[in-house]
Amino acid sequence: MKKPLQLNPDRLFPADEKQRAVARRLYQQVKDLPIISPHGHTDPAWFATNEPWDNATALLITPDHYVFRMLYSQGISLEQLGIPTIDGSAVETDQRKIWHLLANNYHLFRGTPSRSWLDHVFSVVFGLEVTLCAETADYYYDSINEKLATEAFLPRALFERFNIECIATTESALDDLRHHQAIRDSGWQGKVVTAYRPDNVVDPDYEGFVDNLTAFGEITGTDVSTWEGYLEAHRKRRQFFASMGATSTDHGHPTATTSNLSVEDCQALYQKVRTGQASATEAETFRGQVLTEMAGMSIEDGLVMQIHPGSFRNHNDAVFHRFGRDKGADIPSRTEYVSALKPLLDKHGANPKLNVILFTLDETVYSRELAPLAGHYPSLKLGPPWWFHDSPEGMRRFRQQATESAGFYNTVGFNDDTRAFLSIPARHDVARRMDCVWLSELVADHRLDEDEAGELAADLAYNLVKAAYKL
């Protein structure tokens, strides 16, 4: 039996009629504001080449680790899902057959954000009017593929249709930014900027780190055999990224550790690190020292600094060795900020010219650490709920736990942080709705007046992110 697919206009709004009416009014004021996506992982090649996407499976399943991790968790192998192996050994190549796996198991996503994002994509982006299930799998597969081949579904057309004012991608320090250059050269007006993500030349545990340093020296024309040269290479590279539109850097360390060593100690540590001789503790100290250096450079060049700590990467050994990184096996870890950030803050924390945006995968720190820190330091702001917590309940907990100590104005609006380009409107829509829900609660119990809530709704949807990221 085919079931109609209809997104309820009141979705996510509270049950109580009067509060729902407030949420609805607030949402009306912000739902059509342009999207600013200041941090994410879309592929700039899409916008550079503007080539059509291949098919529904290659667009919506294979690259989306949210989607295939759930299927994998229920015993469907990554081979069956067509995830490519490192050694090139065979996996399923019948894209339609893989699509059926999603369709047949779509009930697994009940109650998850993936379900709501996919339904939004199906309904709003592709105009499908029945729900996905075994019976509609082929209809879906064919309809989506057919649309993807049309002009209206090319990357730039969707970018415009999505009302994206600006999107930031994330590139490694060694990226030549050719796609960003191509976008600029093309004359297309879509604003796609990069962000400086130097993990592969900062983290001594990164695959190929020592070689990466060599490449870092070459790409910057700098002698990186000294600590001073290494810092100079960062400065040059940051400048180059900024020239390609970057307004931010991004740092994905295992912990939030920062360090504040003397120059002599930095020099000595760097010599160990660059020759691959650093111990685990020294590697941690080095990552932490570079964060402090990055903060100093941010004060100089104005790039906003994003810290994304606390993911235990590639936790599933078998999957990592057979399929590689980013296969849905990253697991959050307990993360401490108060002591960890102190060295950086001792040096730069009182400087209002510094702009650090803190993220976490450990929700316990919202009320205990991050909101109190952001509610005090002029240099610190709170990023939105991240990754596993970019969901209705995650957003609700964030506002409930962070607002009272940090206020709204030490937060920075929403980040979609996604590779799944088509889900961007869905994700921003969820964020806008959930912020309006939270505001409607504050209005309903008289903690805010509705006119203030209206101002805040626009701030949270648009103004804060624009200001915080200087976009």
11 makes contact with a second copy (CB under 8 A): yes
Query: Which CB, 135 or 228, lies closer to a second copy?
Result: 135
Applying CB under 8 A, the span of 33-41, 89-97, 112-120, 201-209 interacting with a second copy comes to 112-120
Alpha-carbon distance 254 to 30, whole Å?
Answer: 36
- Give every CB contact of residue 191 below 8 A, 6+ residues apart in sequence: 164, 165, 166, 167, 245
Rounded Cα distance, 146 and 359, in Å: 39
Q: Name the DSSP class of 411.
A: B
- Which residues 345-384 are close enough to bind a second copy by CB under 8 A? 345-346, 349-350, 352, 361-364, 367-369, 371-378, 380
Burial 413-448 (b: 16+ CB within 10 A, else e): bbbbbbbbbbbbbbbbbbbbbbbbbbbbbbbbeeeb
Stretch that binds a second copy, among 11-19, 42-50, 144-152, 210-218 (CB under 8 A): 11-19
Q: Which residues have C-beta within 8 Å of that of residue 329, sequence separation ≥ 6?
A: 69, 314, 315, 316, 319, 320
Quick one: 175 or 369, whose CB is closer to a second copy? Answer: 369
Which residue of 2, 313, 342, 470 would you call a contact of a second copy, by CB under 8 A?
342
Scanning 160-168, 214-222, 417-425, 438-446 for contacts with a second copy by CB under 8 A, the matching segment is 438-446
Q: How far apart are CA 415 and CA 246, in angstroms?
A: 16
| Residue numbers 443-462 binding a second copy by CB under 8 A | 444-449, 451-452, 455-456
Under 8 Å between Cβ of 193 and 166: yes
CA 388 to chain centre: 11
Q: Residue 64 and residue 58: Cα distance in Å, rounded?
A: 9
Question: Considering CB under 8 A, how many residues would be counted as binding a second copy?
Answer: 93
CB of 89 to a second copy, least distance (A): 16
Min dist CB 352 to a second copy, Å, is 4
Among 37, 55, 116, 247, binds a second copy (CB under 8 A): 116
Query: Does residue 204 belong to the site contacting a second copy (CB under 8 A)?
Result: no
Using CB under 8 A as the binding rule, the residues of this chain from 291 to 330 that contact a second copy are 312, 315-319, 328-329
Q: How far is the CB of 370 from a second copy (least distance, A)?
A: 10
Give me the least distance between CB of 439 and a second copy, in Å please: 9
Residue number, 22 or 125, with CB nearest to a second copy: 22
* The binder of a second copy chosen from 48, 246, 442, 464 (CB under 8 A): 442
To a second copy, the closest distance from the beta carbon of 331 in angstroms equals 5
Q: Which of 426, 440, 435 is nearest to 458 (CA)?
A: 435
Token look-up 């009416």 returns: 21
Give the Å distances, CA to CA, from 391 to 108, 222, 424, 426.
Answer: 16, 44, 13, 11
Q: Which is nearer to a second copy, 47 or 377 (CB)?
A: 377
Q: Considering only 15-23, 86-94, 181-189, 419-427, which stretch makes contact with a second copy by CB under 8 A?
A: 15-23
Minimum CB distance to a second copy, residue 69 (Å) = 5
User: For a second copy, which stretch binds (CB under 8 A), given 110-118, 136-144, 232-240, 412-420?
Assistant: 110-118
Nearest distance, CB of residue 228 and a second copy, angstroms: 26
The amino acid occupying position 426 is A
Whether 362 and 310 have beta carbons less than 8 Å apart is answered as: yes
- Is residue 392 within the footprint of a second copy (CB under 8 A)? yes
Find the shortest distance in angstroms from Cβ 349 to a second copy: 6
Question: CB 255: neighbour CB atoms within 10 A?
Answer: 16
CB of 299 to a second copy, least distance (A): 14
* 318: Cα within 13 Å, side-chain hemisphere: 4
User: Shortest gap between Cβ of 360 and a second copy (angstroms)?
Assistant: 9
Instruction: Check binding of 41 to a second copy (CB under 8 A).
Output: no
The least distance separating a second copy from the CB of residue 264, rounded to whole angstroms, comes to: 21
Q: Which of residues 257-296 bind a second copy (CB under 8 A)?
A: none
Cβ-based neighbours of 425, under 8 Å, separated by 6 or more: 35, 120, 124, 125, 162, 163
Using CB under 8 A as the binding rule, the residues of this chain from 69 to 98 that contact a second copy are 69-70, 72-75
Tokens at residue 47, please? 């916008």
306 bridge partner residues: 250, 357
